[in-house]
Amino acid sequence: MSITTLDDLIQSEPGVKGKLVFVRSDLNVPLRDGQIQDCSRIRASVPTLARLRDAGARIIVSSHLGRPKGKNVPELSLAVVAPALGESLGSPVQFCPACIGPEAQKAAAALQDGEVLLLENLRFHKEETDNDPGFATALAELAEIYVNDAFGTAHRAHASTAGIASYVKQKAAGDLLRNELVKLGKVLEPERPLVCFLGGAKVSDKLTALEALAPHADVLCIGGGMAYTFLHAQGITTGNSLLEKDSVGDARKVMDAAQKAGKRLLLPLDHIAAREFSQEGEIRTFEGNIEDGWMGLDIGPKTTEAYAAEAMQANTIFWNGPMGVFEMERFAVGTEAVAHALANSTAHSVVGGGDSLAAINKLGYADQITHLSTGGGASLEYIQGLTLPGVEALES
């Protein structure tokens, strides 16, 4: 790909000083009762914004927040993000209660060199997710230069991630987006052995990733609820565990693909199980078959040991998705054990997906992982070799 970087943009003549730069960031932070619960995405967006500010650009920041589905939902206003972004950036961030139209145009035109303006939630307009050309044009009219730094939405062909690029004079990838492509590229073209850990509830949610990784990874370790569909496909009794009967055939195809490619697909050897998902009540460890009335909610100690051993032998690791029902502490042991193994591995390690990142951060392992991806879905698509619309739109 031939993509202009932030370095290219800033170092070129005449540079960005005094120019209006529209930056698509990912400020989709978790909220509870109107309060930001985690500022990780805000902090991740700062380096690109700081470099543009220091170079004298007049910066217009845009993002979505939640899923307002084309309606103005006050609880999902980005107004709450502006002061938090300003605090992380170390300089004030103005807020505009519109993202297109006269009000947004006036606010953008009033910016001085080095100033930052945050626009209202893009998804208050259904035209954003529809990639409507008129909406994309209205966004483009606010600035001369477009910078996409929102890797988490790069797999979406939306107006602010793909459409806008056709209507600006210059376009570039922000530092966050560029770094994601470089680090994830090492999973696409890995130093082997490549060991992948995939978890989560359903096979259907990650089927395309499973199909792509089964013949690509040297070892594919499966955990989470979707493991029970694979085990059922092997004739193993799974009790009351989560089971997608419609995906059993797909699970068999994934296992066959790994076998034909000479790769190893590993499934849990044992399970931490309970009669119900609760902090109370008896839990048991089952090896092999799980009795009726019991549901597997985490990988067991033998599986944990086996998966950790694979991590220690790897030169490249990719992890997306929890090994158990991570929300409850008694069923988070497997997920935390994988996090520990990655932190202690010397491999190039990449982690994506909310629960996986939560485990890394909770245990204080963030600085021991090579790369924490800001886009769970986007990272899965990229390592499959799929084209990301937000990246394709930046190509010269």
User: Which amino acids are annotated catalytic?
Assistant: 41, 202, 354, 377
Nearest to 30 by CA among 41, 22, 19: 41
User: CA angle at residue 202 from 199 to 207, to 5 degrees?
Assistant: 85
For residue 118, count other CB atoms closer than 10 A to its CB.
Answer: 25
> Which H, E and C letters describe the chain, residue by residue?
CCECEHHHHHHCCCCCCCCEEEEECCCCCCEECCEECCCHHHHHHHHHHHHHHHCCCEEEEECCCCCCCCCCCHHHCHHHHHHHHHHHHCCCEEEECCCCHHHHHHHHHCCCCCCEEEECCHHHCHHHHCCCHHHHHHHHCCCCEEEECCHHHCCCCCCCCCHHHHHCCEEEECHHHHHHHHHHHHHHCCCCCEEEEECCCCCHHHHHHHHHHCCCCCEEEECCCCHHHHHHHCCCCECCCCCCHHHHHHHHHHHHHHHHCCCEEECCCEEEEECCCCCCCCEEEEECCECCCCEEEEECHHHHHHHHHHHHHCCEEEEECCCCCCCCHHHCHHHHHHHHHHHCCCCEEEEECHHHHHHHHHCCCHHHCCEECCCHHHHHHHHCCCCCHHHHCCEC
Token pair for residue 20? 């209006």
Give residue 9's identity as a one-letter amino acid code: L
CB of 36 within 8 A of CB of 30? yes
For residue 38, count other CB atoms closer than 10 A to its CB.
Answer: 14
CB of 139 within 8 A of CB of 44? no
